[in-house]
């Protein structure tokens, strides 16, 4: 792989010129500095950029609201009543699921709780939840509060998967060993499929198989996976997954999340659920009668009528993914992040280490660069040079080279700036 790369700006430019996905960068607003220069935006793992089509998608709904008022539910160009259904096929493609396994609704932490209502069913003997020790804080708060809600002490009920002494990522064999050792007491395995801190992309299929063999339910937080890696959710066999759409899926700050529930649970009416009118059978929802009759499938987890403006932004973005193809994006993403690794390894600077695994199957677009003996000042310096990345205490710069809008030249220029500031 390394031989294909070269440490020159000309090589990066030439690579961009022949990139079959290059036209997509033009379809996004790239933030600029005060002098009008485009910044090097490496923060798609936090907030994706705005597609140029988002505004017209939102305008359409604002116009229909202006012209139709409540009648827009039926007469808008894209009627609001079934609006979430317009997103389903493209979202299912992005996450590798069947259409009836995916719905866009609520936001990530809310959806995680809703999934745990259904899939965390602790008993006296089996009440534990397995999670990574450096899972995103919201996920940890969510699993701890669920354990408490069921009357358990989280220090007892939550098992954390920790990397080995002196290591930052988890080893598959250690995950497997923990599941085999503790599995009979574990009710739920809930893992961030691509870890927000290290960027490690876990082998979801194996984790699911190990968990199911022990009788555990298995779910994933795919906030850092959706639109980034090939999730193949259906084939993993996972019971559920949740994700947000404002990172790699470019739908705007605080936008709605997505939920996957495997089809084997679709018609299981014994699963407990928190319910609301949007999960009620569409044919009879507006009869407004007592007695909840669930839609068959994942849509039955919906509670409220959804915010159309947020969905319009998601839909606009998903159309770009459908056109570009998630497999093509994954291919470019691996090549771009491989270039970043190559340039950093070329420097042979002992002060910096990429803590994200190097194997393609174990990483997505994000790479986490540890800067030894550094503080945030180094990050502030690179920011002042026109790089938008993010800093995670105590010493990690997270950079995401996003296939839709990042170029090889972005990667080259970023590494040159980092090198200069080190
Ligand atoms: C891995 C992960 N989980 C959960 C969250 C929380 O998402 P939300 O604020 O949409 O609930 C985030 C937000 O960045 C995240 O990265």
Distances (CA, A) of 183 to 201, 220, 291, 318: 22, 17, 38, 38
pLDDT in tens, 44-79: 999 999 999 999 999 999 999 999 999 999 999 999
How would you write the pLDDT of the chain (422 residues) with one tens digit per residue?
Answer: 555 899 999 999 999 999 999 999 999 999 999 999 999 999 999 999 999 999 999 999 999 999 999 999 999 999 999 999 999 999 999 999 999 999 999 999 999 999 999 999 999 999 999 999 999 999 999 999 999 999 999 999 999 999 999 999 999 999 999 999 999 999 999 999 999 999 999 999 999 999 999 999 999 999 999 999 999 999 999 999 999 999 999 999 999 999 999 999 988 888 999 999 999 999 999 888 889 999 999 999 999 999 999 999 999 999 999 999 999 999 999 999 999 999 999 988 999 999 999 999 999 999 999 999 888 899 999 999 999 999 998 999 999 999 999 999 999 999 999 999 98
For a pocket test of ligand 1, which of 134, 138, 392 has the largest count of ligand atoms closer than 8 A to its C-beta? 138
pLDDT at res. 342: 96
The percentage of the chain sitting over the pLDDT mark of 90, rounded to a whole number, equals 93
Distance (angstroms) between ligand 1 centre and the Cα of 5 equals: 34
Those residues whose C-beta lies under 8 Å from the C-beta of residue 107, and which sit 6 or more positions away, are: 244, 254, 256, 257
- Answer yes or no: is the C-beta of 224 below 6 A from any ligand 1 atom: yes
Cα-to-centroid distance, 18 and ligand 1 (Å): 35
CB of 365 closer than 8 Å to CB of 340: no
Cα(360) to centroid(ligand 1), Å: 24
Burial class of residue 143 (count of CB atoms within 10 Å of its CB; 0-12, 13-18, 19+): buried
Q: Is the CB of 136 under 6 A from ligand 1?
A: yes
Residue 422: per-residue pLDDT: 86
Segments of 173-317 assigned E as strands: 186-192, 217-221, 240-244, 257-261
- State if residue 221 touches ligand 1 by the CB under 6 angstroms criterion: yes
Pocket test for ligand 1, best of 104, 108, 190 (most atoms within 8 A of CB): 108
223 lines ligand 1 (CB under 6 A): yes
How confident is the model over 121-149, as pLDDT tens digits? 999 999 999 999 999 999 999 999 999 99
Tell me if 368 CB under 6 Å of ligand 1.
no
Nearest in space to 192 (alpha carbons), one of 179, 184, 175, 204: 204
For the Cβ of 390 lying below 6 angstroms from any atom of ligand 1, the answer is: no
**Predicted local distance difference test score (pLDDT) of residue 156:** 97
Nearest to 247 by CA among 71, 54, 46: 46
Whether ligand 1 lies within 6 angstroms of the CB of 225 is answered as no
User: For the chain, first and last CA: distance in Å?
Assistant: 26
Q: What is the model's pLDDT at position 287?
A: 87
262 Cβ neighbours under 8 A, 6+ residues apart: 101, 233, 234, 237, 238, 239, 240
Residues belonging to the chain: 422
Q: Which pLDDT does position 3 carry in this prediction?
A: 58
Ligand 1: which of 223, 257, 258 to mutate, judged by most atoms within 8 Å of the beta carbon?
A: 223
What pLDDT is recorded for position 2?
55
Residue 91 C-beta-side C-alpha neighbours within 13 Å = 31
Q: Which of 143, 196, 247 to mutate to test the pocket of ligand 1 (most atoms within 8 A of CB)?
A: 196
pLDDT computed for residue 23 by the predictor: 97
DSSP element (H, E) containing 320? helix 308-324
Cα of 46 from ligand 1 centre, angstroms: 9
CA 136 to chain centre: 12
Residue 51 and residue 78: Cα distance in Å, rounded? 20
- Of all protein residues, the one whose alpha carbon is nearest to atom 5 of ligand 1 is 138
The number of C-alpha atoms within 13 Å of 63 and in the hemisphere containing its C-beta is 10
What per-residue confidence (pLDDT) applies to 375?
82
């Amino acid at each position: 792989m390394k031989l294909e790369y070269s440490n020159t700006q000309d090589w990066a430019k030439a690579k961009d010129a022949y990139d079959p996905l290059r036209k997509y960068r033009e379809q996004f607003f790239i933030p600029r500095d005060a002098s009008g220069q485009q910044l090097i935006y490496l923060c798609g793992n936090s907030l994706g950029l705005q597609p140029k089509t988002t505004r017209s998608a939102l305008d359409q709904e604002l116009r229909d609201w202006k012209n139709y008022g409540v009648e827009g539910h039926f007469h808008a160009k894209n009627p609001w009543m079934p609006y979430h259904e317009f997103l389903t096929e493209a979202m299912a493609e992005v996450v590798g699921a069947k259409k009836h396994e995916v719905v866009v609704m609520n936001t990530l932490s809310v959806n995680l709780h809703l999934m745990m209502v259904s899939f965390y069913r602790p008993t006296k003997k089996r009440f534990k939840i397995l999670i990574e020790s450096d899972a995103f804080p919201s996920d940890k708060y969510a699993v701890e509060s669920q354990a408490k809600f069921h009357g358990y002490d989280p220090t007892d009920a939550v098992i954390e998967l920790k990397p080995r002494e002196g290591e930052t990522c988890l080893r598959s064999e250690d995950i497997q060993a923990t599941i085999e050792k503790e599995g009979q007491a574990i009710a739920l395995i809930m893992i961030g499929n691509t870890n927000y801190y290290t960027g490690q992309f876990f082998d979801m299929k194996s984790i699911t198989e190990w968990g199911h063999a022990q009788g555990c339910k298995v779910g994933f937080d795919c906030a850092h996976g959706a639109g980034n890696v090939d999730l193949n959710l259906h084939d993993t066999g996972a019971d559920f997954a949740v994700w947000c759409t404002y990172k790699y899926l470019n739908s705007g700050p605080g936008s709605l999340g997505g939920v996957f529930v495997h089809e084997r649970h679709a018609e299981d009416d014994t699963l407990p659920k928190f319910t609301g009118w949007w999960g009620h059978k569409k044919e009879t929802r507006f009869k407004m009668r007592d007695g909840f009759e669930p839609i068959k499938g994942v849509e039955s987890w919906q509670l409220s009528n959804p915010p159309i403006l947020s969905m319009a932004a998601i839909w606009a973005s998903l159309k770009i993914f459908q056109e570009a193809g998630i497999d093509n994006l994954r291919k470019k993403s691996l090549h771009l992040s491989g270039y970043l690794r190559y340039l950093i390894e070329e420097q042979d600077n002992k002060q910096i280490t990429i803590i994200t695994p190097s194997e393609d199957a174990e990483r997505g677009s994000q790479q986490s660069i540890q800067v030894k003996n550094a503080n945030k000042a180094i990050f502030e310096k690179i920011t002042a040079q026109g790089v938008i990345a993010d800093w995670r205490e105590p010493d990690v710069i997270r950079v995401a080279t996003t296939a839709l809008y990042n170029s090889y030249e972005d990667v080259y220029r970023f590494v040159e700036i980092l090198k200069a500031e080190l």
